[in-house]
Structure 1
Amino acid sequence: MSHLPHWLGHSLTYLAAAVFAVPLARALGLGSIIGYLAAGIVIGPWGLGLVSNVEDILSFAEFGVVLMLFLVGLELEPRRLWSLRRPIFGWGTAQVACCAAAIFAIGLAAGADWRAALVAALGLALSSTAIALQVMGERNILPTTSGQAGFSILLFQDVAAIPILALLPLLGGVADSRPAGDGLAVEAARIVGVVAAIVLGGRLALRPVLRWIARSRTPEIFTAASLLLVVAIAALMQLVGLSMALGAFLAGVLLAESEYRRELETDIEPFKGLLLGLFFIAVGMSIDFGVLVRSPGRMAAIVAAFMIAKAVVIWLLARPIGVPLAERPVFTLLLSQGGEFAFVVFQAAAGSNVFSAETASLLVGAVAVSMMLGPLLLVAVDRLVVPRLALPQRELPQLSEPQHAPVIIAGFGRYGQIVGRLLDAQGIAATVLDHDADMIEAARSFGYKVHYGDATRLDLLRTAGAQTARVLVVAVDDVEQSLSIVDIAREHFPALELVARARDVTHWNALRNRGVMRVEREVFESSLRTGRTVLELLGHAPFEAREHAQRFRRHNLALFEKMYPHHRDRAKLIAVVKQGRQQLEEQMARERAEHEERRRAGLQGAPGWSDPAGPNT
């Protein structure tokens, strides 16, 4: 039997590990990053040994970080990036300098050589851009204060990695391969020239090129051009010794105002996700458990020391930055773990003889362990710390004065507001109850009279006038709360007519079980109106679209009544639904045939009419 090609075997291993580990990790509430890291540990040299060339894979997988920074840049217009210049260079400098100083002091206190302690401090002060931005994106916290501050600091760290790498030959006593004097000026000019070429090319040349490629109407070529753009810019930056990720970010910013922004995002997003996953798998494989076994105490001490030192510094910086208290734990944890650029720094430091290969392996392992611990600690922070720091819900005075309106509305969200506004327009008074303090204050600012209170409380319903009111509208969003209100009203106020909102079929059946006959599904009528609009856009006359929608509405309501007696018998319920759907399709087919016959016979009526008021429901 022939053997699998090298690349095919590794691809099969990576994909199988990811497909199995990531869904399992997410099902356990640990997040996708933990799944990728665990998959890397299992298939790596210290697990099953299915993959051995970890460094090559890690170098390739770092391109996922490049693509991620390109997509982040696409979300930032140049004006917005310019507005972030102070946070980037202000708070970014403060974070790197203060964290490096704290770790440097710990290293000196532990007896390390000052050069080794300095390089270790600079490398460990950097954070994982990949993990932090991934978590921020999943949690949608990039637009928040902590997200903006974290992004600014991470971007500065990408810039700071360049002078850190340039410093290593000087500290190690190894002659720098780059020329001095006039040669250094030439190199600096080359760097400036490359950056200028990216800026000017992005502003002047990229759009016409992308427009020309788009005119070919070949989607796969546009995808190839998108990847070529990022690869070319990354290669240019690498040639002059700059960060590939920084160059990709700069290109993204320059294309943020382009008409091809969304197309670029759509084309690159799948590659970014796969390569980022491969990057995290490679990080898991890179953990040197041999060093961990030989020096478990030193490894644990390094990880604990630098993560605690960074956490203290970042927590103290969070207040002057303006990060709210409830956001500080996540903000601190995301920046306190090690980063992917530390791998490059420590490997280069070993090559420059700043410290031994054994020390480099120990530091690389510490960074990888911190990146693996970060998502786990994030789960603990979410469950134990964040709820304690969350702002307490504001309490408003509960309804205390007896009310006498004929209608009570329980819940004044997007559903209850429409009901209340309709009644108000007709001059009908209503007592409105809701227990969301923020929503009540917002409604009051628009002139609506909303009372604070929980409608599941019997005494509150009595104060709201349930004994004399004619109608209770149950418009709350929560299903259990809705059913509780109905139970109380049916038991204590039998004369009160109930009109209830149903979120879905299960809720509708539960309300009908309680004898509530006036139940409205919250999106049914709006969905019908949307379907009617689609029919009109497809060429149906307005009166025909209205008739079709009305006929479907009557059929659906009748079908619900047929389904209700069997809602506890799934087999019978499915049979009733299928029968009803078949009847509707047959009826519609007959009507279309009759309509076509009338059209051919020349008996078609007026061409149609508009109905701005909507369907008669």
Structure 2
Amino acid sequence: MPHEGSLLQAAVVFLFAAVLAVPLAKRLQLGSVLGYLFAGVIIGPSVLGLIGNPESVSHISELGVVLLLFIIGLELSPKRLWVMRKAVFGVGMLQVLLCGVVIGGIALLAFDQPLNTAIVLGLGLALSSTAFGLQSLAERKELNSPHGRTAFAILLFQDIAAIPLIALVPVLAGANQDLAPGASLTHALEVVGSIAIVVIGGRYLLRPVFRIVARTKIQEVSTATALLVVIGTAWLMELVGVSMALGAFLAGLLLADSEYRHELEAQIEPFKGLLLGLFFISVGMGANLSLLLSAPVTVLGLTLLLIALKLPLLMFIGRMAAGLERQSAFQLGLVLAAGGEFAFVVFKLGSSNGLFEPRVYDILVLTITLSMAMTPLLFMAVARWIKPRPKAASPVPEEYSEIHSDNPRVVIAGMGRMGQIVARILRAQQIPFVALDMSVETIEFTRSFGNVPVFYGDPLRPEILRAARVQDAEFFVIATDDPDTNIKTAELVRKLYPHMKIIARARNRQHVHRLIDVGAHAVRETFHSSLEMGRQTLLGLGLSESQAQARIQRFKCHDEAVLAEQHKVYDDAAKVLQTAREARKELEQLFETDRLEEQAALKP
């Protein structure tokens, strides 16, 4: 039983290291990928030596990459790619090729690497970290900024480009091998035949199979089928000497427009997350930390060289190809300057195929890891230098920005879900109103339903409020989905128009208290829908319509009374908690009293 014991021990070590290291890395704003890498370094031979043989888990961990590429294939629907075709295949391709040529050329000329190795080095280091890039943009709420959209398009193309690159590595590695022309032709036919089997089978067999499995309504069979498709196509590709990842990607791509896409993604996602984490842990375990002591200048120098090469190239691409301003182009460079997770996959494959010497591979792994670790540090370092600028005047159609209003009785700020419903009610009642929004897409969508008086404008600008003739209105409805914007807008409107009646959207109870402080009537965005859900649940549990309605009304009145009481002490967390506990007991007693009264009324 020693093998079973060692396997269980390894599983415990991996899970324990991940549970400790990943949350810590996220807390330090370093990202989950670095957390996994650091966990692997700690438990690997270089530090604690809890896992003596990193290669023992490499084959299992590679399944994480296979599942990741299947998910990427699922998400790359042809319709989505067509909409983003210019940014993805224009800017994205330019970035990969330009960075690949420059980095590969330096590897060839300055570091005297063979041509095939230089190609893999250049294209591998041209890739950036999707996990790091999207995470850093999301944390800074910059996904919809100009550089955020450009970064997303480039990362999307990099994910696509990684597939042929992974498939190309064994071919480039075979350039040094003396293969007979007949053998090469046979191998090429095997590859083409396997891809044809995957494409034809995926198009004509997979959907009927999933339809049959779905009818069984057995979750574990559906999950097993999804794993069979992914691992089966990966295995078929490996049989003919092509990367497993290519087969998984093709399978995902063929199912991208399938009605089972979301179900497949949900079933594969947990396995993908765990196995991909295991892959990064195995990479960290294989990291040769002794190089930091024996050759610190080489490792640190190459890390700085990678960032120093990619950052200006990305800025150039952002300025010339994407039309970004200087500051946005610099932020684009910061997001994408580091190496990426696919580089680990490419270089590990290249090392196993003899393209890199072990020392070169170790240096590359450390270089990419350090460049990824430097990314959040670079953001922190330049945070004070890069200050948010007011948004430049985007190409807003003139008819959207010129506000025409004839004595509106209501002004609505924000035409999202809540704002649109308010506008529809007012329009049905033929009550004149004016709506403001900062999204051109939202304005276009709203105006497509008819001549809706919605205009482009920031409600935090006094001149916009004057143009909307707020002074003539009776109500100002604040319906944006940003709590801070709602509070600032309410403060400004109250300051400029003291007698205005303000109705504002509130995110939570604390938000309600702050809106009340500035004289607005706060409406909790999920409160009334939650009450209706509770009423429907009570009806389903056997209560009569009148009983359910009475319970909900009792809860509503009690909660509003508690909220008003908590407003007096909302800045004291201990008193708020005490009030909530007392209110819970009081509500239980009220419900019990109602129940007893109903029982008494039923008795003859």
Counterpart for residue 583 of structure 1: 589
Unmatched runs of 5 consecutive residues or more in structure 1: 602-617
Shift of the 196–92 alpha-carbon distance from structure 1 to 2, 3 Å rule, reads farther
| Equivalent position of 1:148 in the other structure | 153
Distance 1:11 1:461, change over 3 A: same
TM value normalised by structure 2: 0.77
1:425-464 correspondence to structure 2 within 5 Å: 426=429, 436=438, 446-448=451-453
> In 1, are the aligned partners of 2:136 and 2:335 still within 8 Å (CA)?
no
Question: Aligned to 1:45, what secondary structure does the other structure show?
Answer: coil
CA spacing shift, 1:95–1:503, aligned 2, 3 Å: closer
User: SS of the residue aligned with 1:49?
Assistant: coil
Query: Is 1:340 paired with 2:344?
Result: yes
Cα contact 2:507–2:524 (8 A) shared by 1: yes
Whole-angstrom CA distance in 2 between matches of 1:512 and 1:91? 48
Q: Is contact 1:87–1:149 with CA below 8 Å preserved after alignment?
A: yes
Q: Which amino acid aligns with 1:272?
A: K
- The partner residue of 2:510 within 506, 509, 518 is 506
1:67 and 1:230 in contact (8 A); partners too: yes
Q: 8 Å contact 2:506–2:522 — kept in the other structure?
A: yes
Counterpart of 1:49, as a letter, is G
CA deviation vs aligned residue, 1:119-162 (integer Å, no higher than 9, x gap):
13532421587932564478576994543343223322321343
Q: Report which stretch shifted further, 67-76 or 334-343.
A: 334-343
Instruction: Tell me, in whole angstroms, the C-alpha distance in 2 between the residues paired with 1:275 and 1:356.
Output: 27
Q: 1:585 to 1:139 in 2, by over 3 A?
A: farther
Q: Does 1:528 align with 2:553?
A: no
Q: CA deviation at 1:276?
A: 1.6
Pairs within 5 Å for 1:393-408: none
CA distance in 1: counterparts of 2:467 and 2:389, whole angstroms: 35
1:125 pairs with 2:127: no
* Aligned mates of 2:474, 2:516 — CA distance in 1: 20
Contact 1:41/1:47 (CA < 8 Å) preserved in 2? yes
Structure 1 length-normalised TM: 0.76
Matched to 1:505, the amino acid is: R
The percentage of aligned residue pairs carrying the same residue is 33
- The SS at the match of 2:48 is coil
Q: Distance in 2 between matches of 1:189 and 1:530?
A: 60
Deviations 1:424-460 (A, max 9, x none): 6556566x68685869966789542769576697997
The answer for the alignment partner of 1:157 in structure 2 is 162
Q: How much is the aligned-residue C-alpha RMSD, in angstroms? A: 4.8
Cα distance in structure 2, aligned partners of 1:91 and 1:494: 51
Amino acid at match of 1:358: R
CA drift at 1:590: 3.9
Distance 1:404 1:218, change over 3 A: closer
Determine the C-alpha separation between the residues in 1 that align with 2:37 and 2:125.
17
Matches within 5 A, 1:31-180: 31-77=31-77, 95=95, 97-107=97-107, 109-110=109-110, 112-113=111-112, 115=114, 119-127=117-125, 131-132=129-130, 135-136=133-134, 144-171=149-176, 175-176=177-178, 179-180=179-180
Letter of the 2:8 counterpart = L
8 Å CA contact retained: 2:92, 2:157: yes
SS at match of 2:124: coil
Q: State the 1:182 CA deviation.
A: 2.2
Whether the 8 Å contact between 1:337 and 1:371 is mirrored in structure 2 is yes
Cα distance per residue 1:313-338 (max 9 Å; x no partner): 44444566547554774477437525
Cα deviation for residue 273 of structure 1 reads 0.8
Q: Is the 8 A contact 2:105 2:118 kept in 1?
A: no
The residue that corresponds to 1:608 in the other structure is none
8 A Cα contact 1:563 1:573, kept in partner: yes
Cα contact 1:123–1:345 (8 A) shared by 2: no
Q: Is the 8 A contact 1:70 1:230 kept in 2?
A: yes
**2:84 and 2:498 mapped to 1: Cα distance?**
62
CA distance in 2, matches of 1:411, 1:420: 11
Compared CA separation, residues 344 and 547, structure 1 to 2 (3 A) = same
User: Structure 1 residues 193 and 78, CA, compared in 2 at 3 Å: closer, same or farther?
Assistant: farther
8 Å CA contact retained: 2:165, 2:346: no
Point out the structure with max Rg over C-alpha: 1
C-alpha change, 1:589 and 1:310, in structure 2 (3 Å) is same
317-326 or 438-447: which moved more?
438-447
* Pairs within 5 Å for 1:113-512: 113=112, 115=114, 119-127=117-125, 131-132=129-130, 135-136=133-134, 144-171=149-176, 175-176=177-178, 179-318=179-318, 322=322, 324=324, 326=328, 329-330=331-332, 333-334=335-336, 337=339, 339-344=343-348, 346-348=350-352, 351=354, 356-374=357-375, 376-377=377-378, 387=388, 391=392, 409=411, 411-414=413-416, 415=418, 422=425, 426=429, 436=438, 446-448=451-453, 501-510=505-514
The more displaced of 383-392 and 338-347 is 383-392
Unaligned regions of 5+ residues in structure 2, if any?
A: none
- 1:237/1:542 CA distance change after superposition, 3 Å: same
Distance 1:87 1:190, change over 3 A: farther
Q: Distance in 2 between matches of 1:78 and 1:460?
A: 43
Cα 1:565–1:387 shift into 2, 3 Å: closer
Q: Measure the CA separation in 2 of the matches of 1:478 and 1:24.
A: 29
Q: Aligned-pair distance for 1:563?
A: 5.3
Letter in 1 for 2:510: T
Deviations 1:8-52 (A, max 9, x none): 222222222221122122222222222222222222333333233
Given that 1:409 and 1:433 are in contact with CA atoms closer than 8 Å, whether structure 2 keeps it comes out as yes
How far apart are the structure 2 equivalents of 1:81 and 1:500?
39
In the other structure, the counterpart of 2:580 is 574
Distance of 1:359 and 1:226 partners within structure 2: 38
Q: Secondary structure at the match of 1:193?
A: helix
Instruction: Name the CA distance, whole Å, in 1 between partners of 2:318 and 2:268.
Output: 33
Partner Cα distance (2:335, 2:499) in 1: 57
Instruction: Read off the aligned partner of 2:363 and give its amino acid letter.
Output: L
The alpha-carbon deviation at position 247 of structure 1 amounts to 1.2
Conserved 8 A contact 1:408-1:471: yes
Q: In the superposition, relative to structure 1, how do residues 206 and 493 fare at CA in structure 2: closer, same or farther (>3 Å)?
A: closer
Taking a change above 3 Å as real, the CA distance of residues 319 and 538 of structure 1, as seen in their structure-2 partners, is farther
Check conservation: 1:132, 1:335, Cα contact below 8 A.
Answer: no
Show CA shifts across 1:291-349 (max 9, x none): 23222222233333344334444444456654755477447743752512342354246
2:15 counterpart residue number: 15
